[in-house]
Amino acid sequence: MAGGRGIPLALLAVLTLQGAGAVKVGNVMVQAEFHQRDERVKQESDQFVFDFDGNEMFHVDLQKKETIWRLPEFGNFARFEAQGALQTLAAVKHNLEFAIQNFNRSQAAIDPPQVTVFSEDPVELEDPNLLICYVDKFWPPVISITWLKNGQEVKDGVVESVFYRGQDQTFRKFSYLPFVPIRGDFYDCRVQHEGLPAALLKHWEPQVSLPASESTETLVCALGLAVGIVGIIVGTILIIKAMKMNSARNQRGLL
């Protein structure tokens, strides 16, 4: 692993005071790249991202060799050549073996992820929305995030963010699933990470209140049923009292 805990990420223009009671006098612009290799499954991956005060400005799609701005408008005011990221990552990869040997192939402590699932907007039935799976505070940045709808894996429309680095050197990541809320449907965000003993399923299902018309009808029906029950009880009591009064009159008449 290059660019992880124990092997620092590249930093650019760090303009803050450090220490207790420090006063921030500027902003933090971070260029972060890493190359990692999972020797168990023989897979490699790279990432190059630029952020400002913890917010992504852009990342480089290394397969398409394109700069992807977090907001398209950013590209109107600045430029970044993707080739620069490729050259930087080539140097990082070249140094990987040297770093592994110097660290004696030791590994940092593994931190399992924390997972939260929520919708982008308040849920309304049959109103298109977006589910967000937020995976936070994990290390190393090797993770699998999948969506399940009613127990079946969903791939269409799913989008993942890049890895974002936290101040404690752990990482966070987002996964997005467009969906249309239907009563009875449920969703799970499944997260797999070497810090977890088994795949973690975070369950979510829409909590939708009844429409006003349905609520009114339900209330009217409930009130009608309650009035009917009360009427039956009162009627039964009156019948019993009438029978007792008739019985008492009959007994006095015999005397």
Co-location of 152 and 235 in the same domain: no
Per the domain annotation, does 55 fall within a domain?
A: yes
Residue position matching structure tokens 């009114």 = 216
pLDDT attached to residue 250: 60
Co-location of 10 and 93 in the same domain: yes
What is the token pair recorded at 92? 């990082």
**Omega before 140 cis (within 30°)?**
yes
Range of the domain at 224: 216-246
Co-location of 3 and 98 in the same domain: yes
**Tens-binned pLDDT, residue by residue, of the chain (255 aa):** 444 443 333 333 333 333 334 445 577 777 878 777 666 656 677 888 888 777 888 888 888 888 888 888 787 888 888 888 888 888 888 787 777 777 666 667 889 999 999 999 999 999 999 999 999 999 888 899 999 999 999 999 999 998 988 878 899 999 999 999 999 999 999 999 989 999 999 999 988 765 555 555 666 677 777 766 776 786 677 677 767 676 666 665 555
pLDDT attached to residue 197: 94
Provide φ and ψ at 22, rounded to 5°: -65, 145
pLDDT attached to residue 218: 60
- Domain-ending residue, one of 108, 141, 173: 108
Please state, in angstroms and rounded to a whole number, the distance separating the CA atoms of residues 125 and 114: 29
Per the domain annotation, does 83 fall within a domain?
A: yes
Strand ranges for the chain from DSSP E: 29-38, 43-52, 55-61, 66-69, 114-119, 129-138, 144-149, 152-154, 159-160, 164-165, 171-179, 187-192, 200-204
Per the domain annotation, does 253 fall within a domain?
A: no
Please compute Rg for the chain using Cα positions.
32
Co-location of 86 and 10 in the same domain: yes
Per the domain annotation, does 192 fall within a domain?
A: yes
Please state, in angstroms and rounded to a whole number, the distance separating the CA atoms of residues 21 and 63: 44
Per the domain annotation, does 13 fall within a domain?
A: yes
Contact 58, 72 (CB under 8 A): no
- 163-201 burial, b if ≥16 CB within 10 A, otherwise e? bbbeeeebbbbebebebebeeeeebbbbbebeeeeeebe
What is the separation of C-alpha 61 from the centre of its chain, rounded to a whole number of angstroms?
Answer: 23
Shortest CA distance to 59 belongs to which of 156, 173, 194? 173
Per the domain annotation, does 22 fall within a domain?
A: yes
- Domain-ending residue, one of 92, 108, 124: 108
Co-location of 3 and 80 in the same domain: yes
Q: CATH number for the domain including 4?
A: 3.10.320.10
- Domain-ending residue, one of 74, 108, 142: 108
According to DSSP, the β-strands at 144-149 and 187-192 are antiparallel
Domain count along the chain: 3
What is the token pair recorded at 62? 């290394």
Co-location of 102 and 154 in the same domain: no
Per the domain annotation, does 209 fall within a domain?
A: no
Q: CATH number for the domain including 193?
A: 2.60.40.10
Co-location of 7 and 46 in the same domain: yes
Co-location of 6 and 77 in the same domain: yes
Per the domain annotation, does 80 fall within a domain?
A: yes
Co-location of 4 and 103 in the same domain: yes
Shortest CA distance to 175 belongs to which of 151, 138, 143? 143
